[in-house]
A and B are shown apart, each in its own frame.
Chain A
Amino acid sequence: MNNQQPASLKTSSLPGPQDISRQVLENGITLLVRPNFNTLSVSVAGYLLAGSLYEPVEKLGLADFTASTLMRGTEKRSFEDIYNNLESIGASLSFSGGTHTSGFSGKSLADDLETLLSILAEGLRFPVFPEAHAERIRSQHLTGLDLRAQDTSEMAELVFDELTYQDHPYQYPGDGFPETIAKISREDLIQFHENHYGPRQMVIALAGAVEPEHAHSLVQEVLGDWSNPSQPEEITVPPAPSLEKIIKRHFTIPEKSQSDLVMGAAGPSRCSPDFFPAILGNNVLGQFGMMGRIGDAVRTKAGLAYYAYSSVSSSIGPGPWTVSAGVNPDNLEKTIQLIRGEIQKFIAEPVQEEELQDSKSSYIGKLPLALESNAGVTSALLNLERYQLGLDYYQRYQDLIHEVTRDQVLEIARKYLHPDRLVIATAGP
């Protein structure tokens, strides 16, 4: 069935300057709103520069710990009140720590937006970090780390980051280690919040059944008078170290039925011109259809794995470009060699014209699906701001995709991947 037609989108239905309202509050908060009255709810999402890059190495996990404790009580509401207020109206809100930023996301029925935004603002501005709650979060966090230590996929990723990003801040896991979590005191949480949470460079996106003017006045009311002179300047990360050879390490987790493997190298930044050729090439390598060329070789032809795919991370810095698979421990080496073979082929010759066209059509076609829910739209709005893509980005999107050539894909593949210069991290029995 080759029913190929050039993929195209009706740009008028995509978010753009005609329906995105962007305003910057006096204190530096950027507010993006896109109304959609076909829905009954509103989604909110946002971030501020308070990720794990801002925490000391001996207290890894501090940013995440702080974010997860914001809703455990504020100067205005107890933990019980916060969750009673939210859950009684069917709303939800949560904070989490990332590498560069800490973020939040939530949703409510349209009539309840004011309550949702009030609780969001109190969590951001007035958390009190009750001692008993901080200890409870610590226990939950430590149990999470116990579970991580038994998870072959998570441990392979952890080892991969450690080997790929030596002497680089990306080497550390955002959820820390048991010994660093143990060192974090309530005072550390208070200090981290005081020194890093503030309106400068904070971004909030809203999508759903709300008029932009109304959203603006609600946000202005709860966050407009916030200031924090002690917020640090944004930390930028250096390029990733380059690999000269294969670096391989196995993390042993006894008694597991399956091993996981993560192999690859540092990839391009989301802001780099390399990004589009990388994602389109990666789609051919390990995503398109049932996981691209790698899925075809490892799963379909060899029957070695239930999953085998590649991914390029979307990060402001040099995030990883990896191939991941879960395989029977006896087949680990065979799988690694198959994947190295695919990487070799990927850098030896350009992808076929048909493969690139398929990949482009797929990327263009899936945009409306990614944008059908309010949560999908808030996430898209945050990308516009975080990576400075411009309000008309989604309308230019298909042109950006169509511009990529086979030669560019090859050039970018060669720049980042080589079968003899890879980190190969595995975890299992």
Chain B
Amino acid sequence: MLKPIETIQLSNGLQIKLKEIHTAPIVSHWVWYRVGSRDEIPGKTGISHWVEHLQFKGTPRFPMEELDKSISRTGGIWNALTYLDWTTYFETMPADKIDLALELEADRMLNSNFDPQEVVSERTVVISERQGNENHPGFLLKEAVRAAAFRVHPYHHEIIGDLADLQTMQRDDLYRHYQTYYQPHNALIAVAGDFDTDTMLEKIKALYGDYSPGDPITRHNRPEPPQRGEHRLFVEGPGETRLVNIAYHTPPASHPDFFPLMILDSLLTGPQGLNLFGGGGMSNKTSRLYRKMVEEKDAAIDLYGGLPATIDPFLYSVHFIVHPAYDTSAALEVYEGEIQRLQENPPTREEIQRAAKQTRALFAYGGESITNQAFWLGFAEMFASYDWVTKYTDNLAAVEPEDVQRVAQTYLQPKNRVIGTYLPHNKGSNSP
């Protein structure tokens, strides 16, 4: 399924990964930058995401409206994502139109306008995006839990940024951020789909070969000190539904304990794939926590978990909706019981193989999308290497039952977690 790929680095530091796939006349092209909310300081939170928005506002060569129309009239899709550790831009287009995407991305790596007027109008758009998020109790809770988990490290704040900073940052702040991080030596190009490798490589070299590497980047490095005791917090707001978010400090994606933790998550809350663009996921009704909390005890209405792959230590989170007829603290006790079971007894080898098979299937589904294929090429390079993806299911299958038990004992400790609860105003007698 995952064939060998071409990997090149230009003398200016730009990394290139190419994978030919000839099943459909489509090419997906991604440019990744090693910058995200991890690189932000107080006063400038949300700057990476705002810069991403401004990258759609044009360059002298590709004026804003033309940029957008040129891609759209091919039927292609294009978008960008800003995350904790990275920002990425992609175009998935008919194969015979991909040159447009190559040219536009090469141009906006260095030449975006950052027109002051555009900064003004985009300020309210970004604030509107944040206000849309704030409408959802789950966002408010997640934001509070993350802030409680990280006092020092910049994973503390949401990627969208704090309102105070969105109101005060200026055009020059944004432009400086862009100039600092948008450089060949801080970027990776990943292309998958219906092209010839040699031809594609020549095109990319022609576009980027003359770019200077750019100045070295000084990163903030403020490691989070160990948490010394459990934090519990409450967020109050409108509604009738109680939500719980439990977050444990966990190691980064490159750490040997990461794969045992992925298995742990799969057993507790169901399998996670790496399919951002079609292929979807899978139900989690036979996962341990779902069986116990939703089916057996009627303590929760639904639940899910997640262990994001990051450069620095981040969080393993479990989220659940408390059943309206169940007490929140009693639901947490049911939850705790399942965690203890895993800490006291290792899972069976069959459970681990089953989790690995589920992940294999998710890769098979996701692989049908050229966009996913190209996404995978670049994604893991941001925190580890592409091997991380190609060896993903083998690494899961190789996890030993005792490793799962050990990571449950090591990381799923009360003193290492934050428990956040959303308390709705309108809730009647069942409030805790």
Q: Is the CB of B94 within 8 A of A83?
A: no
**Segment of B121-129, B169-177, B309-317 in the binding face:** B121-129
Task: Kindly supply a per-residue 1/0 record for chain A positions 74-101, scoring 1 wherever the CB is within 8 Å of any chain B CB and 0 otherwise.
Answer: 0000011001101111111010000000
Is A216 located at the chain interface by the 8 A CB criterion? no
Q: Is A40 an interface residue (CB 8 A)?
A: yes
Q: Is the beta-carbon distance between A1 and B62 smaller than 8 angstroms? A: yes
Give the nearest-CB partner of A290 in chain B: B68
A306 and B368 contacting across the interface, CB-CB below 8 Å: no
Distance between Cα atoms of A306 and B279 in the complex (Å): 27
Distance, CA A140 to CA B127, complexed state (A): 33
Question: Of A4, A79, A258, which is within 8 A of B132 by CB?
Answer: A258
- Assuming the contacts A38-B23, A143-B321, asked whether A358 and B72 have C-beta atoms less than 8 A apart, the reply is yes
Which of B8-16, B31-39, B294-302, B379-387 faces chain A?
A: B294-302
A381 near B: Cβ within 8 Å?
A: no
**Residue interface mask B56-95, A partner, CB < 8 A = 1:** 1000001011101111111111000000000000001110
Q: A139-B301, A255-B238, A358-B69 are in contact. Are A90 and B282 (CB under 8 A)?
A: yes
A361 to B69, CA, bound (A): 11
Q: Max chain A CB contacts within 10 Å: which of B25, B69, B76?
A: B69
State A94–B281 Cα separation when bound (angstroms). Answer: 12
Query: Closest residue of chain A to B427, judged by CB?
Result: A146
A286-304 contacts to B (CB < 8 Å): 288-290, 296, 299-304
How many chain B residues touch A (CB < 8 A): the figure is: 80
The CB with the most chain B CB atoms within 10 A, among A86, A142, A147, A326, is that of A147
- Which residue on chain B has the smallest CB distance to residue A365? B75
From A160-168, A181-189, A337-345, A371-379, the one touching the partner chain is: A371-379
Q: Are A150 and B128 in contact (CB under 8 A)?
A: no
Q: Is the CB of B295 within 8 A of A136?
A: yes
Interface of chain A residues 121 through 151 with chain B (CB within 8 A): 136, 139-140, 142-143, 146-147, 149-151
A109 touches B364 (CB 8 A): yes
Q: Shortest CB–CB separation between residue A395 and chain B, in angstroms?
A: 15
Q: What 1/0 mask marks residues of chain A from 291 to 328 whose CB sits below 8 Å from any chain B CB?
A: 00000100111111111000000000000000000111
Given A41-B368, A253-B238, A289 and B76 touching (CB < 8 A)?
no
Bound together, the chains give a CA A288 to CA B324 distance in angstroms of: 43
Evaluate contact between A362 and B73: CB separation under 8 angstroms. Answer: yes
A87-B358, A306-B132, A367-B75 are contacts. A147–B69 as well, Cβ < 8 Å? Answer: no
B94, B122, B270, B295: the one contacting A303 at CB < 8 Å is B122
User: Cβ of A146 and Cβ of B25 under 8 Å apart?
Assistant: no
Q: Do A146 and B73 touch (CB < 8 A)?
A: no
Q: Choose among A79, A306, A361 the residue that contacts B125 (Cβ–Cβ < 8 A).
A: A306
CA distance A273 to B71 in the complex (A): 29
Please state if B77 and A374 are interface contacts (CB–CB under 8 Å).
no
Cβ-based interface call for A107 (8 A): yes
- Contact string, B267-282, partner A, CB cutoff 8 A, digits 1/0? 0001100000011111
With both chains docked as a complex, state the minimum distance between the C-beta of A374 and any C-beta of chain B, in angstroms.
6
Contact (A86, B75) CB under 8 Å given A41-B365, A150-B137, A326-B132: no
Q: Min CB distance, B297 to chain A, in Å? A: 11
Give, as a whole number of angstroms, the nearest-CB distance from B248 to chain A. Answer: 24
Q: Are B357 and A88 in contact (CB under 8 A)?
A: yes
Q: How far is the CB of A367 from chain B (nearest CB, A)?
A: 7
Contact A368:B298 (CB < 8 A) given known A83-B285, A303-B124, A374-B368: no
Contacts of B369 in A (CB 8 A): 372-373
- Contact assessment for A372 and B26 in the assembled complex, using a CB-CB cutoff below 8 Å: yes
Residues of chain A in range 241-280 having any CB-CB distance to chain B below 8 Å? 253-258
CB distance B25 to A13 under 8 Å?
Answer: yes
Interface contact B370-A372, CB-CB below 8 Å: yes
A-B CB contact pairs (8 Å), 7 listed:
A39-B367, A41-B364, A87-B283, A143-B324, A257-B132, A304-B124, A369-B77
Given A91-B282, A147-B241, A289-B68, 10 other A-B contacts at CB below 8 A? A1-B100, A7-B73, A39-B364, A84-B286, A254-B238, A255-B237, A257-B130, A304-B124, A305-B128, A358-B73
